Amino acid sequence: MDFYTYSYLQTHQQTITVVSYGIILGALLLILYYLLRYLHHRLITRYRDLSIVFLLFTLILLGTQIEQLTYVHKNQWQSSQILPFIEAVAQDHNLSKNQVMVNQTTLNNGMLIRFKGYDY
């Protein structure tokens, strides 16, 4: 069974969105590059075709990003609730936040809390 620390939960929330936005930004830059190449060399249509391919790729990525937006928002909301919970447990038992570990990344019933070598 995996247990997660406070610092892992804090950094994990930000990593996923940064990577997906980076891929979309890269695809938009490729569209711009091939569009400029096409405008410079109008007789060579492969640049236009590559621009269209990357435009469609970006639209697909944006579509999936919008679809997952509500899912990610829900998970981030639930994940943001677990951080104050860990802080409260640590404060109640006079521990550091990084000494308290949980087995889920969201606040749910039936989750296990581990500190001082014991599970609760």
Query: Hey, which of 13-22, 81-90, 102-111 has the most confident mean pLDDT?
Result: 81-90
Which long-range contacts does 15-18 make (Cβ < 8 Å, 24+ apart)?
A: 16/72, 17/72
What six digits make up the tokens of 59?
Answer: 């639209």
33-65: pLDDT as tens digits? 888 888 888 777 887 888 888 888 888 888 887
Residue 68's contacts (CB-CB under 8 Å, 6 or more residues apart) are none
Average pLDDT, rounded, for the chain: 81
pTM of the model: 0.50
Q: Are 5 and 83 in contact (CB under 8 A)?
A: no
User: Has residue 22 got a pLDDT over 70?
Assistant: yes
User: Has residue 73 got a pLDDT over 80?
Assistant: no
Identify the domain containing residue 36 by its residue range: 4-119
Number of domains in the chain: 1
Q: To the nearest whole percent, how much of the chain has pLDDT over 90? A: 1
CB atoms within 10 A of CB 54: 20
User: Has residue 101 got a pLDDT over 80?
Assistant: yes
* pLDDT value of residue 14: 63
